[in-house]
Structure 1
Amino acid sequence: MSLFRAETRRLSKRRFTRSFVIIALVVLGLIAGGTAYTHEKTTAQTRAAAEAAADQDYQEQLRYAEQARVNCKKNPADFGGDCDSITGPAREDISSDQFLTPQFNFRQDFPAMVIAWAALLALVAFVIGASFVGAEWNSGGMMNLLLWRPQRLRVLSTKLSALLTWLFGLSVVTGAVWTGLFWLIATLRGTTEEMTPGAWQSLGLTGLRGLGLVLVAGMIGFGVASIGRHTAAALGAAIGVIVIFQFGLAIVLELAQARFYDAYLLPAWIGAWMAKSYEITDYNAPCDFSATQGCEQPTLTITWEMAGSLFAAVSIIIVGVAMWTIRRRDIT
């Protein structure tokens, strides 16, 4: 059996991998179930029920206004003395739309679900990638493997290739099921109108960017764990990035009134990658006054190309360092 097939099979059969994937699938199922439960297709019956509820609310508001006028005439001082100004709302002020259960609009609402899918799978990819190589370093399995396969770079690159191939397959399968599931939800509990070829193309590109995010997360987790030779190294680095370089740095930059401080934080770059762009408004800078637009704060736009270049550079650097360390450092 080839090393690639052996590593792919070992990754698929690891208890940790299966458990973590099952947990992710359960979370995705809960998101889909919650979405279906909180949405309802708008029909003639639901519209009629909403109109009736709006009429009932209108009548109640009129009764409240009439009672307020009666109380005002009894105690004018408590109401400012102007009892005639107390009037109920106009009928058109109470829309029946506010009494309708929202329906799931596939074109408008599904892109957010794609982002949720990508974010969750990226977390799964990072943890599984770190555990895949970190557990072998910690248990001594890597040293045993190198005894009969002494090509260090080939062994590590094959492991990484097996991981990325497996993550690619997982992402494609879950992404297809995720799309079909929400298409069903939109059919039964919403609408699938306005799904033009351009809309499908936009969704497809969003899904591809989500796939890229998953693969990058897996590469980074794999690389950091390989450098630290332990799963905890990658998890500790992730916690450090979140706690120190996200929350801590955000507080420091905000206190220092740094310009466009959101640009130094990871969520802005992930948002730019998945949503094609992310606009940051600098509320600490003096506004630019325009005779037509008024006071406008300066903005900075992060594009998906900029975010993609950053993610590619970080992942290449980390994997490159991992390859360098396994070649230069002692294995024992």
Structure 2
Amino acid sequence: MSLARAESRRLFKRRFTKFLMVGVLLVLGAVAVGVFFSNEKVTDTQIAQAKADADRDYRSNLEQAARDKERCIAAQGTPEAANWGTDCENLYTPTPEDFNYVWYLPPSFEFRAEFPDMISVFAVVLAAAAFLIGASFVGAEWNSGGMMNLLLWRPQRLRVLGTKLAVFLGWLISGTLLLAAVWTGLFRLIAEFRGTTDKLTSGVWQSLGLMGLRGLALVVVGGALGFALASLGRHTGMALGALIGIGAVQIGVYVMAQLAKLAYPDAYLVPLWLFAWLYKEFVVEDYASCDFSSTAGCEYAQFTMTWQTAGTAMAALVVVIVGAAMWTMRKRDIT
């Protein structure tokens, strides 16, 4: 039996892998069911009623604004003038744009606008599962002594670890692509029956496809890091401990950045970089700065976190951690 085939069997025979795969399906299924039942198909009658309600509220607020203006003018020269000010002509007057009829409609799943969020949920759930499965896959081998036995059969350290990683990532990519196709089809059906599929142009599908590829990359990175960290520590707990440690360090760095009044403290948070990776960018503001404008008020300095920077950092991290795992596999004693 080839090494790759043996590793494939070992991966899928592990109970932890099976339990986690079932858990992933249950979580994703719960999300899809929740979206289905929390949305509905909007009818022409509901649209007409929403327009009527929006127009009614607009007229009511317009009448109230007119009464307020009259009271403001009447109050001039009296003690009540303090409640209105002196510029009665520029009191707020509602416009039709302030009462968009869409806001009066029941929730409806718009595939074009809302499916990107479903891609994000899908990618994060699978990346977390990939990290745990990858860590357990190699960590259990080290902890149980299986790795030492395997090296007696195949005394080629880098080939053994590299094949194990390649098999895991190969199945991870295949499974993610299959699930992604099902996920997309499922939400397309939800949009058909509980929402709308309007404005799905080729450009929209291209944008969704590119976001899906970035989500796939996130899943692969999660799996590779979990595998490599567990191999470095020769125990599944090493990967889990590193994950907890990163979380603790993140909190500490964020707090220290705020105390030190550094610009853009939010830019030190890894989750926001992951958001920028999936959605192409994320803008953070420096609330300690204030460029005052007489027309726009206080304008804060901004920093744009881009998917290119996030992707470069993820790639560098994977190269360093996986490279370190391979180096220690070659240099350290197998005991």
Q: Which residue does 1:297 correspond to in 2?
A: 300
- Change over 3 Å in CA distance of 1:303–1:99 after alignment to 2: closer
Q: Which residue does 1:157 correspond to in 2?
A: 162
Q: Which residue does 2:192 correspond to in 1?
A: 187
Report the alpha carbon displacement of residue 248 of structure 1 after superposing the two structures with TM. Answer: 2.3
| 2:304 match: secondary structure | strand
Whether 1:218 aligns to 2:223 is yes
Report the alpha carbon displacement of residue 45 of structure 1 after superposing the two structures with TM. Answer: 3.4
Write out aligned runs for 1:62-141 (5 A). 97-141=102-146
Q: Is the 8 A contact 1:38 1:101 kept in 2?
A: no
TM-score (norm 1): 0.85
Which one-letter code corresponds to 1:144 in the other structure? N
Which one-letter code corresponds to 1:254 in the other structure? Q
- 1:246-279 Cα deviation digits (max 9, x unpaired): 2222122112211112222101210111011111
Q: Which residue does 2:283 correspond to in 1?
A: 279
| 1:282 match: secondary structure | strand
Which one-letter code corresponds to 2:40 in the other structure? E
Count of matched residue pairs:
308
| 1:295 match: secondary structure | strand
Whether 1:198 aligns to 2:208 is no
Report the alpha carbon displacement of residue 48 of structure 1 after superposing the two structures with TM. Answer: 5.0
Which one-letter code corresponds to 2:250 in the other structure? Q
Q: Which residue does 2:33 correspond to in 1?
A: 33
Write out aligned runs for 1:37-56 (5 A). 37-47=37-47, 50=50
Distance 1:249 1:164 in 2: 32
Which one-letter code corresponds to 1:230 in the other structure? H
Report the alpha carbon displacement of residue 169 of structure 1 after superposing the two structures with TM. Answer: 1.0
Distance 1:126 1:119 in 2: 11
Q: Which residue does 2:261 correspond to in 1?
A: 257
- Change over 3 Å in CA distance of 1:193–1:54 after alignment to 2: closer
Structure 1: which 5+ runs fail to align? 66-79, 82-89
Distance 1:234 1:47 in 2: 52
Distance 2:100 2:8 in 1: 57
| 2:287 match: secondary structure | coil
Which one-letter code corresponds to 1:141 in the other structure? G
Which one-letter code corresponds to 1:27 in the other structure? V
Distance 2:207 2:159 in 1: 38
- Change over 3 Å in CA distance of 1:239–1:191 after alignment to 2: same
Which one-letter code corresponds to 2:120 in the other structure? I
Q: Which residue does 1:311 correspond to in 2?
A: 314
- Change over 3 Å in CA distance of 1:325–1:180 after alignment to 2: same
RMSD: 2.7
Distance 1:177 1:215 in 2: 19
Q: Is the 8 A contact 1:245 1:265 kept in 2?
A: no
Which one-letter code corresponds to 1:32 in the other structure? A
Report the alpha carbon displacement of residue 291 of structure 1 after superposing the two structures with TM. Answer: 6.5
- 1:118-138 Cα deviation digits (max 9, x unpaired): 000000010000000000000
Structure 2: which 5+ runs fail to align? 65-78, 81-93
- Change over 3 Å in CA distance of 1:45–1:108 after alignment to 2: same
Matching residue within 273, 278, 291 for 1:269 = 273
Which one-letter code corresponds to 1:182 in the other structure? F
Q: Is the 8 A contact 1:54 1:95 kept in 2?
A: yes
Distance 2:232 2:196 in 1: 49
Q: Which residue does 1:14 correspond to in 2?
A: 14
Report the alpha carbon displacement of residue 162 of structure 1 after superposing the two structures with TM. Answer: 0.6
- 1:275-313 Cα deviation digits (max 9, x unpaired): 1111111112x3234576553211111211111110000
Q: Which residue does 1:76 correspond to in 2?
A: none
